[in-house]
């Protein structure tokens, strides 16, 4: 499990990982990026913990919600 500077960040990474497991969604992580952010790899996408927590809070942390987030992020990145 990723080690973080605060216990609360560790707990939220655990919550995301537990939820993904319960949904049967394969993932890798959590990892700490060079920028010291917690990230997860789902399919070919890298998501910030905060993005996945937002989906979890909206009760959309499922395959459809993750695919929608990935499309939204790809469209934002392609327009830059």
46 φ/ψ angles, rounded to the nearest 5 degrees: -110, 125
Helix locations, the chain, DSSP H = 7-22, 49-57, 63-78
Q: What residue numbers bound the domain in which 69 lies?
A: 7-78
Determine, yes or no, domain membership for 1: no
Domain count, the chain: 1
Instruction: Say if residue 1's pLDDT is above 50.
Output: no
Question: Does residue 2 form part of some domain?
Answer: no
Residue 43 lies in a domain: yes
Q: What is the pLDDT of residue 79?
A: 79
pLDDT for the residue numbered 9: 53
Residue 5 pLDDT > 50, yes or no? Answer: no
pLDDT in tens, 43-72: 999 999 999 999 999 999 999 999 999 999
Does some domain include residue 29? yes
Q: Is residue 47 part of a domain?
A: yes
Rg (alpha carbons) of the chain, rounded to whole number: 12
């Amino acid at each position: 499990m990723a080690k973080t500077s605060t216990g609360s960040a560790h707990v939220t990474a655990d919550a995301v990982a537990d939820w993904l497991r319960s949904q049967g969604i394969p993932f890798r992580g959590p990892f700490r990026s060079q920028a010291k952010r917690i990230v997860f790899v789902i399919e070919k996408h890298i998501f910030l913990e905060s993005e996945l927590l937002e989906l979890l809070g909206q009760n959309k942390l499922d395959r459809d919600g993750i695919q929608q987030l990935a499309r939204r992020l790809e469209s934002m990145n392609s327009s830059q």
